[in-house]
Amino acid sequence: MKRKALVVYNPASGKHRWQGILASLLPQLQRSGISYERFETAINTKVIPLDYSFTDIIVIGGDGTINLALNAIRGQYPVVFNLIPAGTGNDFVKNLAIGHSLEEQIDTICNGQVVSVDVGRCNDRLFVNGVGLGFDGQIVADMLHRKIWLTGHARYYYHVLSILATFKPVKLDYQVAGEIFSKNTLLLLIANGSTFGGGFKLAPDGSLTDGHLDLCHIGDVSPLKRFLHLPKLEKGTHGQLEEVGFDKIKKISISKNPAIIAHIDGEYLGNPPFEIEVLPGRLKLRVKNSA
């Protein structure tokens, strides 16, 4: 079957990296016999002009652009997602073997194999990497409203350090598998992937193909202990702390709480209530043939 791709790119991602990426990608698509059309996203983009003539969608951007593309098509078209990271954190692709260099990533698009991976659904919105509440959500809110010159992991780390000592845990009620929990919560993460914030392995056992979401709950950790053990969150060894708990879940119900902020795939989401569940094997992705 002849391939036809819609190339979706976010002009606001990664300091205009998309221009150089397109200059390398489009000629290689032509040489590989893959026809294409281009689509530039905007702040208010809700729909992507995709139809059944497209076999592939190529997303150039960060986690937010991937989330936008996924929700803009809503699973209406059986297309294969191809990813070229060009955002600030690019956490989702850290779970995937698509190649580290642009040359490798373009080769994956042209010659890679197709795999099926899980996605999540939060209320009526799909996600690929995860939903974070509490400290994690507040960081995203701060990044949205406080602009600084730093980028990537350094930018996220700056905002982490700016509120690490002062952020107050919130009592959060949620239900998993019929059991009701009411816990003081510094952070609650419902993860599909493993890595967040440009490099923090908050869900070290996260898997895109296990048919589950990974729950990470961090309770009332003292300010001093937060600073002392912050490196554990980068390495994924924070499970050693007594205030940290993990679980593999299919779904979770989080009660209404205006005192806690959430993000979805690194984009501001707002306040619960949330109904979150896994959709096993819902998304088709192209990865390296050796993956």
Give the tens place of pLDDT for each residue, 174-204. Answer: 999 999 999 999 999 999 999 998 789 999 9
Q: For the segment 97-134, what is each residue's pLDDT rounded down to a tens digit?
A: 999 999 999 999 999 999 999 999 999 999 999 999 99
Give the C-alpha separation, 262 to 255, whole Å.
13
Q: Which two tokens stand for residue 62?
A: 């960060």
Quick one: which H or E segment has residue 65? Answer: helix 63-73
User: Which range is most confident: 38-42, 149-153, 241-245?
Assistant: 241-245
Q: Which two tokens stand for residue 223?
A: 């300010």
| Per-residue pLDDT at 291 | 53
Give the C-alpha separation, 158 to 29, whole Å.
39
Q: Above pLDDT 90, what percent of the chain?
A: 73
Q: What is the identity of the amino acid at 94?
A: K
Give the C-alpha separation, 168 to 69, whole Å.
34
| Per-residue pLDDT at 13 | 65
| Per-residue pLDDT at 14 | 58
**Does pLDDT of 79 surpass 60?**
yes
| Per-residue pLDDT at 184 | 97
Rounded to an integer, the average pLDDT of 129-152 is 84
User: Are the C-beta atoms of residues 173 and 182 closer than 8 Å to each other?
Assistant: yes
**Does pLDDT of 282 surpass 70?**
yes
Q: Which residue has the higher pLDDT, 140 or 213?
A: 213
- Whole-model pTM: value is 0.92
